[in-house]
Amino acid sequence: MTASAFDEVAFFRAIAEGPVRALLIGRRGLIALGMPVMTRDYDFWIPADDAAALNTALLPFGMLPSRSPEEARKNGRYMLENDEHVDVLVARSVSTIDGTMVHFEDVWARRIYLTIGDVDVPIPCIDDYILTKRFGARPRDADDIRWLERFRSNQP
């Protein structure tokens, strides 16, 4: 049941096998976890110096970056796109809506893995996932937090 010729497992494998430390965040990660939410877009959080490595990993998929690695580092965000859309957060630390600083190194240290096909994809632990949802302040981020908290409470 694929929507296009895009090989999603190969996409995750290309990132996982490269030198980039990329955390899958956002709603694609929630779907993989088991939450019934909708999106086709991918969100990753990478350290400030890893944009070039991520771009290289995704070049075989025809995904082109919207900014150079240097510009991405300065701006804190960029996109990789073809028919697919990947939003990339490029930052050592990010502030939540209520001013808590969240550091990539800490979240990376507490990461868990989701096995997607035959690829182990790093995502934040659930507590940190909730924190990443506080980076934005959209209604859907608040809804995702509610659902993540409920999801967490239902875990064995």
Partner 1 sequence: MTRPGPPPTITSEQRAELEAWEDRALSPEEFEARVRAPWTDAERADFDNLVRWFNRRYPSPVERLAATRHLMAQIRKS
Number of CB atoms found within 10 A of residue 111's CB: 15
3-state secondary structure of 148: helix
State which residue, 28 or 73, has the beta carbon closest to partner 1: 28
Count Cα atoms within 13 angstroms, Cβ side, for 60.
Answer: 11
- Contact residue for partner 1 among 63, 86, 116, 131 (CB under 8 A): 116
Site for partner 1 contains 140 (CB under 8 A): yes
Site for partner 1 contains 52 (CB under 8 A): no
Task: Label the pairing between strands 85-90 and 77-81.
Answer: antiparallel
Question: Shortest approach of partner 1 to residue 105 CB, angstroms?
Answer: 26
Question: Shortest approach of partner 1 to residue 125 CB, angstroms?
Answer: 16
- Give yes or no for a contact between 127 and 88, defined as CB atoms under 8 angstroms apart: no
Q: Which two tokens stand for residue 156?
A: 């064995």
End-to-end C-alpha distance for the chain, whole angstroms: 30
- Contact residue for partner 1 among 16, 18, 31, 125 (CB under 8 A): 31
Q: Which of 43, 37, 32, 41 is nearest to 142 (CA)?
A: 37
- Contact residue for partner 1 among 17, 40, 74, 106 (CB under 8 A): 40
Question: Shortest approach of partner 1 to residue 102 CB, angstroms?
Answer: 16
Chain residues that interact with partner 1, rule: CB under 8 A: 1-4, 6, 8-9, 28, 31-36, 38-40, 97-98, 114-117, 134, 136-143, 145-147, 150-151, 154
